[in-house]
């Protein structure tokens, strides 16, 4: 298992209604568990096992995961594709020059 830390260009200042849509997207992703203490989790909550969690940070929507690289890439790419459709702008990593839309 590999550790992954990635930000997306989904800015914390988006409207509450937009975050409600993103929360709904969370529940549609493979491995969805639920929100625990306000944090969304997929697959597990133990950092020693396969897991994904997300948090809203100033640098964008942050994902932390522990899982095999190929499985992570598939999951993360699916999230970006679905988020792009949902939000109406190209979702990607700011370090890959994806701009924040506010």
Residue 78 resides in a domain: yes
Whole-number pLDDT of residue 66:
97
Considering Cα of 95, then 4, then 35, then 84, what sign does the dihedral take?
A: positive
Alpha helices in 1-102 (DSSP H): 16-28, 69-87
What span, in angstroms and rounded, lies between the C-alpha atoms of 53 and 44?
9
| Residue range 1-29, pLDDT digits in tens | 899 999 999 999 999 999 999 999 999 99
Residue 89 resides in a domain: yes
Are the C-beta atoms of 28 and 78 separated by less than 8 Å? no
Residue 42 resides in a domain: yes
pLDDT for 96 beyond 90: no
Q: How many domains does the chain have?
A: 1
pLDDT for 102 beyond 70: no
Domain with 45 in it: 13-61+69-96
Residue 94 burial class via C-beta count within 10 angstroms: exposed 0-12, middle 13-18, buried 19 and up: middle
Whole-number pLDDT of residue 54:
98
| Residue range 41-72, pLDDT digits in tens | 999 998 789 999 999 999 899 999 999 999 99
């Amino acid at each position: 298992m590999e550790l992954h830390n990635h930000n997306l260009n989904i800015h914390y200042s988006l409207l509450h209604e937009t975050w409600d849509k993103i929360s709904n997207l969370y529940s549609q992703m493979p491995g969805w568990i639920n929100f625990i203490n306000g944090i969304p989790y997929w697959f597990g909550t133990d950092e020693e096992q396969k897991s994904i969690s997300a948090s809203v940070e100033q640098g964008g929507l942050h994902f932390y995961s522990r899982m095999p690289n190929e499985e992570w890439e598939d999951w993360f790419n699916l999230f970006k594709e679905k988020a792009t459709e949902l939000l109406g702008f190209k979702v990607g990593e700011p370090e890959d020059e994806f701009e924040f839309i506010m």
